[in-house]
Amino acid sequence: MELTKKRWGILIASCFINLCIGSMYAWSVFAGPMAKYLSQLTGTTLTAGALAIVFTVTNSVGPITMITGGRINDTFGPKKVIFVGGLLFGGGMILSGFATGLGFLVFAYGIVTGLGIGMVYGCTISNSIKLFPDKRGFVGGITTACYGFSAVIVPPVANILISNLGVTAAFKIIGATFLIIVCVCSFFIDKCPAGFIPEGWTPPASQGNKLNQNSKDWKGMLKSPIFYPMALILLCGAFYGLMCSALASPIAQGMIGMSVAAATTVVSILALFSTGGRVIAGYASDKIGRINTLTVAFVLAIIGLICMYFSGQGDVTRFYIGIIIVGVSFGAFMAVFPGLTADQFGTKHNSVNYGIMFIGFAISGYFGPTVMKNVYAADHSYRRAFLIAAVLCVIGFVITFVYRYVYKKLTAINISDSMTLKN
């Protein structure tokens, strides 16, 4: 009874933590000023696109600590993991303020901050999902929404700091502030006990849930045929979102001709609707099913990306419509996957399992911005990248039906095996 009430406080602390580490999505606001600063310092010409490698590395290293930190979380609890992750996250941002070259920035923000984000994000999401087996979709949506909402709050604050104190001071101030918040909030996070059932809730006894009662560790998950369509769905769903998030400000300036201030607003709009998409999709997935929600998200993403492609002739209205739809659909994938992973492979080893599943996200975090940068280098325009992303979304849409086929087959096998054991 006590934990049933206390879990809401733990959820609030987790949301504050994710609000801090989600500042990663505001990278494009820092990219331009930091490129200018390093160009002046080193005498070489660096662009915001050249600094996309920093965002790419940040995304790519996250699963390393999601998996290792997840193992510690599953064994000892999330408190210590989040505290250490907070030190890495905030420390990496502070170190970024001392960067004198691209290599040091990649190390500080890309590697140190990225490893911290992986440790913290994996623990807050997994522990919250375990505490709310009755509201997995909704809680997955709320916790990931706070992660995304950071990019609504941070850009205007960062812009003020950059304008008045410079980009290096902005890194130091924001990094120190977030380090303190994450580390303090970590003391309010308690480990969810195995088999926790909230007061007044009875787990459903449907055949679909019986399939998921036996928790699988990472080896069992990798042996399961349903893991592979799930990983591909996440890869396709994250590609376009990370591609746009990494370079939202440069895209708005270079393709539409917006001012720096207007382009910063685009970053916040993308993050705001991504946040809304997470809450809505998380709630919807509890009602209509996780895979149905993801299928709809792919359809929306295709529409949004096509709008952005045709806005390349300076159509501001179409661009805003596209970026809003992209934000909503991308948020859906971030919200639904924690619950989907727990549904399929159980909650016992969910921290490690979700960390491995998140590798699909990390791969997209590398290829999304890289494709965007290479397309711009070849075409002197970002437009073709939106078509490439749309094609991947079509592929992802098809894979959702492969997932359904595999799931039905596994369900039939499970029922058959249960009947055999009874006989």
Low-confidence ranges of the chain (pLDDT < 50): 207-212, 423
Torsion angle in degrees (nearest 10) through CA of 255, 257, 262, 267? 10
Q: Which tokens go with 350?
A: 């969910």
Q: Print the domain residue range for 163.
A: 2-192+207-422
Domain of residue 347, CATH code: 1.20.1250.20
Quote the pLDDT of residue 209.
46
Q: What's the pTM?
A: 0.79
Number of domains in the chain: 1
218 is a domain residue: yes
* One-character DSSP codes across 354-392: HHHHTHHHHHHHHHHHHHHHHHHHHHSSSHHHHHHHHHH
19 is a domain residue: yes
Residue-wise pLDDT tens digits, 89-106: 999 999 999 999 999 999
Cβ pair 33, 162 in contact under 8 A = yes
198 is a domain residue: no
Residue-wise pLDDT tens digits, 265-323: 888 888 889 989 999 998 899 889 999 999 999 999 999 999 999 997 778 999 999 99
How far, in Å, CA of 38 to CA of 49, rounded? Answer: 13
Q: Which phi and psi (to 5°) does residue 331 adopt? A: -60, -35
199 is a domain residue: no
202 is a domain residue: no
Quote the pLDDT of residue 415.
64
Cβ pair 61, 144 in contact under 8 A = no
